[in-house]
Amino acid sequence: MKKLFFFLSLALLSTNLRAQQDMEGCKDHPLLTRLPDFYIESCLSNYNSAEVPTGNNQFTPHEGTVTRIKYVTNQDDEAKMKSILQVIRNYENAIIGKGGKKVFSNNEFGTFRMMQDGKETLISAWSFYLPQGGGVGSFELLIVEKEAMKQEVEANALFKELNEKGSVALYINFDTGKSTIKSESQSIIDEIVKMMKSNPGLKVSIEGHTDNVGSASSNQKLSEERAAAVVKALTAKGIDKSRLASKGWGQTKPVADNSSSDGKAKNRRVEIVKL
């Protein structure tokens, strides 16, 4: 009987030790250090949309690389467990110390914003489980590194959609407030060139659209300049200018709600319209 008790005790100890190790493949986010007395129970990271707490009973959707990390305490003494307010304040101090700002916090949630290399990152912390003593048994970090989805375009598919629908919306990235095409969008330009060269009878209009940030007149001008920049990039790669027209619509033809950052991103587009 004593031997059985000994082996059961070892088994429970072994299970407890395994439970207090980080889940295989999980690690802390590089922007944030770990709070003591916690280990990672689960994690997930992919391109997605997430509802970020931005006020009392208010959640705002944001799109980008979404990371969720669930931390669980290895502290058995409830009297020594951290409160959710301690958890939030720890992250608040760390993020503000790195130049970040508080978006919203109360006794349950904390959301903060950081800018890194021109990209916005939102970080939220909240508790899953509060033992009777008020300490945090586990909490989740939600980290959204905002960025536009990189559009992958293939010439044959582009031509097929153009024939079927008459137009195709492309998300070509430009420098903010300018008509300079960013290097990561050159592959889209290359696929348009392939499509045009494979279909020598095809003529198209390149049409620029913006969100509603700024004045209507400045957005009209910017949309015209961006459409013209795409035409210039195509002619530089051998497409005859007689096959291309350009037009700017400014902010007059939104395809999404401009009240959200994701909606604005969808409205900042270049459309190819078949002539």
- Token readout for 24 is 């295989």
pLDDT in tens, 247-266: 999 999 999 888 876 788 88
Mean pLDDT over residues 130-135, rounded? 58
Proportion of the chain above pLDDT 70, given as a percent: 87
Q: 69 and 140 in contact (C-beta within 8 Å)? A: yes
Residue 223 has φ and ψ, to the nearest 5°, of: -65, -40
Q: Which amino acid is at 208?
A: G
Q: 260 and 60 in contact (C-beta within 8 Å)? A: yes
pTM: 0.54
**pLDDT class of 44 with cuts at 50, 70, 90:** very high
Q: 246 and 206 in contact (C-beta within 8 Å)? A: yes
Q: Which amino acid is at 94?
A: A
DSSP 36: T
Mean pLDDT over residues 91-115, rounded? 90
Residue 255 has φ and ψ, to the nearest 5°, of: -110, 0
- Token readout for 95 is 């993020």
For the chain, how are helix, strand and coil distributed in percent, rounded to 5?
35, 35, 35
Paired with 107 in beta bridges are none
Displacement of CA 16 from its chain's centroid (Å)? 36
Sketch out the chain's domains with CATH numbers: 23-146 (no CATH), 155-274 (3.30.1330.60)
Closest to 111 (Cα-Cα) out of 51, 158, 168, 69: 51
How does DSSP assign 80-125, residue by residue?
A: GSPPHHHHHHHHHHHHHHTT-EEEEE-SSEEEEEEEETTEEEEEEE
Judge whether residue 57 has pLDDT over 70: yes
pLDDT of residue 131: 52
